[in-house]
Amino acid sequence: MTSSGSLQEESCIVGHDIAIQRGGHTIWSNGTFSIPTGSVTAIVGTNGAGKTTLMKAELGLLPLSQGTLTVLGKPAGAMNDRIGYVPQSYTSDIDSSLTAEQSVLLGLTGTRFGFHIVSKKERAKAHEAMQFVGIDDKASYRLSELSGGLRQRVAIAQALVSDPQLLMLDEPLANLDLASQRTTVHILAKLNKELNMTIQVVAHDLNMLLPILTGAVYLLDGHPHYARLDEVLDSHLLTHLYGTQVQVITTPQGDMFVTPNADTIDTNPDMHSSSDVAQFHHHTHSPQSSDDLREGDAQRGEHQ
């Protein structure tokens, strides 16, 4: 695997006024954001907010109804051979007799038409990817024999084997136990640090990812926004985002937590003052999204 820091552009994913429709109704719209190269971002939002839809749009799998979306300097979909994609479905009862090694190899050879035999170089490449995620010893295991956590690492290795610049994972931590979640986060951190890989993750629970996130795309009131992590980690915004009371807590050790119920945790809640909240609320990196926030609030007000 080579480092992919050669990209000149500062931004890895740039959306300009993007909107998407499915079945005649708008999932989200007015998305203008720019995600820096080398960042680790989460796509966050409530169920049905269109997180996976956004990721699929970035892969060019779903057409936009409006706007332009540029990924790795080209229109969405054009650079997919430089993108590693790990869909959520890896856990959905893969009852496959395929071995881990063959699954990873498909990431390298699966798109090739015509007859050809897997070369030693390709096999070495697959093992390198498996080594990186720590499953080299499981190469000859069938997927059906592996736990959800290991199968997910197989899927990540499959995505890595073609040396992507951008790695996209849809709910990589869902259905994993704590230890597997930590391992996955650790692997993502390593990829970002050692290979300078830009990483984007669809997630509904931020806590596990907080130590490695540099920012987030949050789907709020039907609009995608991007913000750096310090802007996202705000009780008011998160409360608004999840539609339930959320607090941001900092432990004495400096670890931060996002929690729906702070009262039961024996730490000093990092509650922002009301003026801070107001600041956070209107403080956004671009006028466009600031307007969106206000619009969103206005709409909410009307509904109530």
Partner 1 sequence: MNAFFSYDPLWTQTLTMPFMRNAFLAGLCIALAAGVIGYFTIARNSAFASHALAHIGLPGATGAVLLGLPVALGLGVFAVGGAWVIAALGKRASEREIATGTVLAFATGLGLYFARMSSSASQQLQAILFGSILTITPSQIVGFAIFDVLLLIVMAIVYRPMLFSSLDEQVAQAKGVPVGFMNLLFMTVLAGVITIAVPAIGTLLIFALVVTPAATAMIVTNSPFKAIVVATLLCLVSIWGGLVISTMFPAPPSFVIVALSTLFWGIAKGIEAARKKNHRA
User: Where does this chain bind partner 1 (CB under 8 A)?
Assistant: 59, 61, 80-81, 83, 85-87, 89, 96-99, 102-103, 106-107, 109-116, 140, 142, 155, 158-159
**Which token pair is 92?**
């959905």
Q: Which is nearer to partner 1, 57 or 238 (CB)?
A: 57
Q: Which is nearer to partner 1, 110 or 260 (CB)?
A: 110
**In angstroms, what is the minimal distance from the CB of 255 to partner 1?**
34
**In angstroms, what is the minimal distance from the CB of 256 to partner 1?**
33
Closest by CA to 19, choosing from 213, 280, 292, 206, is 292
DSSP run (H or E) holding 257: strand 256-259
**In angstroms, what is the minimal distance from the CB of 167 to partner 1?**
12
Q: Which is nearer to partner 1, 164 or 215 (CB)?
A: 164
**In angstroms, what is the minimal distance from the CB of 183 to partner 1?**
21
Instruction: State whether the Cα torsion 197-191-189-82 is positive or negative.
Output: positive
Q: Which is nearer to partner 1, 118 or 298 (CB)?
A: 118
**Which token pair is 251?**
């432990």
**In angstroms, what is the minimal distance from the CB of 282 to partner 1?**
38
| Alpha-carbon torsion angle 75, 103, 155, 70, nearest 10 | 0
**In angstroms, what is the minimal distance from the CB of 87 to partner 1?**
4
Percentages helix, strand, coil for the chain (3-state, rounded to 5) are: 40, 25, 35
Q: Which is nearer to partner 1, 61 or 278 (CB)?
A: 61
Sheet with 25-36, side-by-side order of all strands: 25-36, 11-22, 66-71, 74-75
Closest by CA to 129, choosing from 152, 104, 110, 111, is 104
**Which token pair is 211?**
């130590």
Q: Which is nearer to partner 1, 113 or 264 (CB)?
A: 113
**In angstroms, what is the minimal distance from the CB of 111 to partner 1?**
5
Neighbours of 26 (CB within 10 A): 14
| C-alpha to C-alpha distance for 82 and 76, rounded to whole angstroms | 12
Is beta strand 40-44 parallel, antiparallel or unpaired with respect to 215-220? parallel
Residue 272 Cα to chain centre, angstroms: 27
Q: Which residues of 144-166 are buried (b: 16+ CB within 10 A; e: fewer)?
A: eebeebbbbbbbbbbbbbbbbbb
Q: Which is nearer to partner 1, 4 or 102 (CB)?
A: 102
**In angstroms, what is the minimal distance from the CB of 137 to partner 1?**
16
Q: Which is nearer to partner 1, 142 or 228 (CB)?
A: 142
